[in-house]
C-alpha cells in the first residue's frame, strides 16, 4: 500500500507539467527507463543498456569521470572568480590580493580553482595511462584516443594560460620562458610567439589574450571535445571489456539481453 507521499509523487508524475518535460514518463519498466534515458538531453549520450562489468570501479577507476568532475568544479569556480578579476595590468594583481584578503571566502575560491586545476592535470594523465594499460585504445576506439589527446592538450593549455592571470613575478617570468619556447618551433616559431602574446613582449596584450583563451576559447573547445568523447564511448559500443576475462562472459550469461546498444 502506497503512502501519502508516494501518491502525491504519482500525481505529479501523471500531471501535464511533468509530462511536458519528461515525455516518456518515468515508469519502472525497462522500456520506460530506456526511453527516459534516450529522450533526456543529458542522459541520451549514454547507452540505454550497459554491461555490469563496464561500470565496475575496477574497470576504469572512474578516472575519466573524476577528470570531468574536476572540470565542472573549475568551470563553476572560474565563473565566480571572473566576478572579481579584471584582465588589466594595473588591476590584475590587486584583484588577486583582494581575493586573498578582502573578498569573503575569496581565498577558498581561488585555492579551490588552483588545486582543482592541478588535480585535473594529474587525473587526465592517470586516466590516459589506465586506458592504455587496459588496451582500451584499440579498434574501434582509436578515434576516441585521438580525441583524448586533443583533450589532454586543451587541459595543459588551460593550465598554462591560467598561469599568467595573477600577473605576479612568478607568472610573468614563467610565461616569458614558456612563450620563448614556442619560438623554437621550426619555420613558424616566431609567428606562434607573436600570435600568443599579441606582440613580442609579455605585456597588457598578452594578458588580454591569455584571459580570452583561458576563460572563453579553451573552455568552449573543452566542452565540445568532451561531448564528442562521451558520444564516441557510446558509439564504440560502451566501455571496453576484456573478452578473455571470464567475468565478462558471466555478465552476458546473467543478463542474456545485455548487449552493447549503439
Q: Does 22 bind ligand HEM (CB under 6 A)?
A: no
- Is the Cβ of residue 35 or residue 233 nearer to ligand HEM in the bound state? 233
Alpha carbon distance 112, 74 (integer Å): 8
Alpha carbon distance 174, 15 (integer Å): 59
Alpha carbon distance 201, 206 (integer Å): 8
Out of 106, 148, 162, 166, which residue is the one contacting ligand HEM (CB under 6 A)? 148
Q: Does 149 bind ligand HEM (CB under 6 A)?
A: yes
**Three cell numbers written together for 112:** 579551490
Which residue has the closest beta carbon to ligand HEM?
148
Q: Tell me: cis bond preceding 140? Omega within 30 of 0 counts.
A: yes
Minimum distance from CB of 36 to ligand HEM (Å)?
21
**Three cell numbers written together for 151:** 583533450
Q: Does 233 bind ligand HEM (CB under 6 A)?
A: yes
Alpha carbon distance 113, 215 (integer Å): 13
Owner of C-alpha cell 573478452: 243
Out of 45, 76, 119, 152, which residue is the one contacting ligand HEM (CB under 6 A)? 152
Phi/psi region, residue 62 (left: phi>0; alpha: psi -120 to 50; beta: rest), is left
Minimum distance from CB of 34 to ligand HEM (Å)?
20
Q: What is the torsional sign of CA 57, 61, 64, 67?
A: positive
Among 5-13, 61-69, 177-185, 251-259, the segment contacting ligand HEM (CB under 6 A): 61-69
Out of 77, 116, 144, 179, which residue is the one contacting ligand HEM (CB under 6 A)? 144
Residues in contact with ligand HEM by the rule CB under 6 A: 60, 62-65, 67-68, 71, 124, 127-128, 131, 136-137, 141, 144-145, 148-149, 151-152, 155, 226, 229, 233, 239-240
Amino acid at each position: 500500500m502506497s503512502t501519502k507521499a508516494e501518491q502525491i509523487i504519482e500525481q505529479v508524475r501523471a500531471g501535464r507539467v511533468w509530462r511536458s518535460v519528461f515525455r516518456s514518463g518515468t515508469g519502472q519498466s525497462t522500456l520506460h527507463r530506456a526511453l527516459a534515458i534516450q529522450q533526456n538531453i543529458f542522459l541520451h549520450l549514454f547507452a540505454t543498456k550497459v554491461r555490469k562489468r563496464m561500470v565496475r570501479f575496477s574497470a576504469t577507476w572512474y578516472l575519466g569521470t573524476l577528470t570531468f568532475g574536476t572540470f565542472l568544479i573549475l568551470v563553476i569556480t572560474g565563473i565566480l572568480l571572473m566576478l572579481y578579476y579584471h584582465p588589466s595590468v594595473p588591476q590584475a594583481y590587486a584583484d588577486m590580493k583582494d581575493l586573498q584578503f578582502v573578498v569573503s571566502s575569496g581565498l577558498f575560491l581561488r585555492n579551490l580553482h588552483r588545486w582543482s586545476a592541478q588535480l585535473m592535470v594529474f587525473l587526465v594523465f592517470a586516466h590516459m595511462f589506465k586506458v592504455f594499460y587496459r588496451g582500451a585504445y584499440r579498434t574501434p576506439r582509436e578515434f576516441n584516443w585521438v580525441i583524448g589527446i586533443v583533450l589532454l592538450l586543451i587541459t595543459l593549455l588551460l593550465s598554462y594560460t591560467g598561469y599568467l592571470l595573477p600577473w605576479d613575478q612568478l607568472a610573468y617570468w614563467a610565461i616569458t620562458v614558456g612563450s620563448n619556447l614556442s619560438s623554437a618551433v621550426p619555420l613558424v616559431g616566431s609567428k606562434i610567439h607573436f600570435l600568443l602574446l599579441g606582440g613580442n613582449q609579455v605585456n597588457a596584450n598578452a594578458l588580454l589574450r591569455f584571459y580570452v583563451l583561458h576563460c572563453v576559447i579553451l573552455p568552449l573547445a573543452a566542452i565540445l571535445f568532451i561531448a564528442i568523447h562521451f558520444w564516441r564511448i557510446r558509439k564504440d559500443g560502451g566501455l571496453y571489456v576484456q573478452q578473455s576475462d571470464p567475468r565478462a562472459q558471466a555478465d552476458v550469461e546473467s543478463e542474456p539481453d545485455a548487449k552493447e546498444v549503439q
